[in-house]
């Protein structure tokens, strides 16, 4: 039984970056032998085991053969006869196909990963790259992650990414996997690169159709490079979709099956972006109250600061952005308790509270 550290852990180690998680490949072993040593098998599709003490993943060396469409259309074969080189060749990029022998510390690099690390190239391992459409998104994610280290995608890999896009296999991906790649990419140090790489690879369709227009995308990429870009992935995505109309935004969110919180931020930021003028006036108080209520800002001040950050990135001036906080503070300063003590109840209480809160907003906006 031979054990090798593989993939991102070796890559990041060689780049001098912190290793977040470690994955291992085991050559010359069977599932029964792994279980006899206390490893616990997880999943049904792949021979992957969890170490009894560390919980780290150990996978038996395996080969994959394309047997259907999509990223799940593979037949997996694992046996003690499969070599490390056979296992590594099925990986996506050469920089992810380097292994370190845990017994000797020796690096095994049959496909030129170290040279590509030196040349700062993201290059596919073999033509089998085209068999898995998820790799298009993974390459775009790695390009975003390592952009500040001056990594670029190899021209021949871009060519294969376009081949995958033209095949229509991107449509076979699950929305959950696409969202997972998008979320990780947009939270990276250079999120604009994810979309830029997909555009160059002609791979924005079918998942990101609404933002694929050349002029729209250029503006979105500019916002993603704003020095005050928020940290949150959902807020960053909101800066991308903020200029979409209601129908396009709904289509985008539905296709990706975005989680509830992400949908909230995309819709809230879009609504305020569309309606917030350069400077609010007292006569705007009523519709401002309605919009605060519609976007959940009436219940809590919590959304205001994140909302301000997105609106600033979207180009709203400081006057409008700061007014938003003052407007919300004015609304929240008027509470229902005095009205309840005065005998108001039910619909009458709601109407009176709304009237007083609108008055407070108008007073804040009166010069």
Per-residue confidence band for 64, with pLDDT thresholds at 50, 70 and 90: confident
- DSSP symbol at 172: G
pLDDT of res. 68: 65
For residue 119, is it within any domain?
no
| Listed residue (163, 165, 197) closest to 181, CA to CA | 197
**Tens digit of each residue's pLDDT (9 = 90 or more) over 133-187:** 999 999 999 999 999 999 999 999 999 999 999 999 999 999 999 999 999 999 9
For residue 361, is it within any domain?
no
- pLDDT above 80: residue 62: yes
The mean pLDDT of 72-80, rounded to a whole number, is: 75
Other beta carbons less than 10 A from residue 192's beta carbon: 23
pLDDT of res. 67: 60
For residue 71, is it within any domain?
yes
For residue 302, is it within any domain?
no
- pLDDT above 70: residue 73: no
Per-residue confidence band for 79, with pLDDT thresholds at 50, 70 and 90: confident
Give this prediction's pTM: 0.91
On the question of a cis peptide bond just before residue 63, with omega within 30 degrees of 0, the verdict is no
For residue 43, is it within any domain?
yes
For residue 47, is it within any domain?
yes
Other beta carbons less than 10 A from residue 243's beta carbon: 18
For residue 5, is it within any domain?
yes
Q: Which region among 2-16, 37-51, 111-125 has the lowest average model confidence (pLDDT)?
A: 37-51
Is 327 in contact with 361 (CB distance < 8 Å)? Answer: yes
The mean pLDDT of 127-137, rounded to a whole number, is: 95
- pLDDT above 90: residue 75: no
The mean pLDDT of 288-306, rounded to a whole number, is: 95
Is 107 in contact with 100 (CB distance < 8 Å)? Answer: yes
The tokens describing 207, both together, are 């998942």
CATH of the domain at 93: 3.30.460.10
| Listed residue (281, 352, 367, 293) closest to 328, CA to CA | 293
**Tens digit of each residue's pLDDT (9 = 90 or more) over 192-221:** 999 999 999 999 999 999 999 999 999 999
- Report the number of distinct structural domains present in the chain: 1
For residue 260, is it within any domain?
no
Quote the domain boundaries for residue 59.
1-111
pLDDT of res. 342: 95
As a whole number of angstroms, the distance between CA 219 and CA 230 comes to 17
């Amino acid at each position: 039984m031979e054990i090798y550290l593989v993939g991102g852990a070796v890559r990041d180690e060689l780049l001098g970056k912190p290793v977040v998680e470690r994955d291992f490949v085991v050559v010359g072993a069977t599932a029964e032998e792994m279980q006899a040593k206390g490893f616990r098998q997880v999943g049904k599709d792949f021979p992957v085991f969890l170490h009894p003490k560390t919980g780290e993943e150990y996978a038996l060396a395996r080969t994959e053969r394309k047997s259907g469409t999509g990223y799940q259309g593979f037949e997996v074969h694992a046996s003690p006869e499969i070599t490390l080189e056979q296992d590594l060749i099925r990986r996506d990029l050469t920089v992810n196909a380097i292994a370190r022998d845990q017994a000797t510390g020796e690096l095994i690099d049959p496909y030129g990963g170290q040279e590509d690390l030196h040349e700062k190239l993201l290059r596919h391992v073999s033509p089998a790259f085209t068999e898995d459409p998820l790799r298009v998104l993974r390459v775009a994610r790695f390009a975003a992650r390592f952009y500040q280290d001056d990594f670029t995608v190899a021209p021949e890999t871009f060519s294969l990414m376009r081949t995958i896009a033209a095949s229509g296999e991107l449509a076979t991906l699950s929305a959950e996997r696409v969202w997972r790649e998008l979320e990780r990419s947009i939270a990276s140090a250079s999120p604009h690169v994810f979309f830029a790489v997909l555009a160059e690879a002609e791979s924005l369709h079918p998942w990101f159709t609404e933002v694929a227009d050349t002029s729209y995308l250029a503006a979105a990429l500019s916002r993603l490079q704003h020095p005050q870009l928020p940290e949150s992935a959902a807020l960053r995505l909101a800066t991308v979709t903020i200029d979409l109309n209601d129908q396009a935004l709904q289509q985008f969110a539905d296709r990706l099956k975005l989680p509830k919180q992400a949908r909230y931020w995309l819709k809230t930021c879009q609504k305020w972006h569309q309606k917030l003028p350069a400077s609010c006036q007292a006569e705007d108080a009523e519709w401002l109250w309605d919009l605060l209520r519609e976007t959940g800002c009436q219940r809590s001040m919590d959304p205001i600061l994140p909302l301000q950050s997105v609106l600033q990135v979207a180009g709203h001036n400081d006057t409008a952005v700061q007014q938003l906080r003052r407007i919300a503070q004015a609304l929240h300063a008027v509470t229902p308790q005095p009205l309840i003590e005065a005998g108001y109840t039910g619909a009458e209480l709601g109407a009176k509270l709304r009237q007083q809160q609108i008055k407070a907003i108008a007073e804040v906006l009166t010069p």
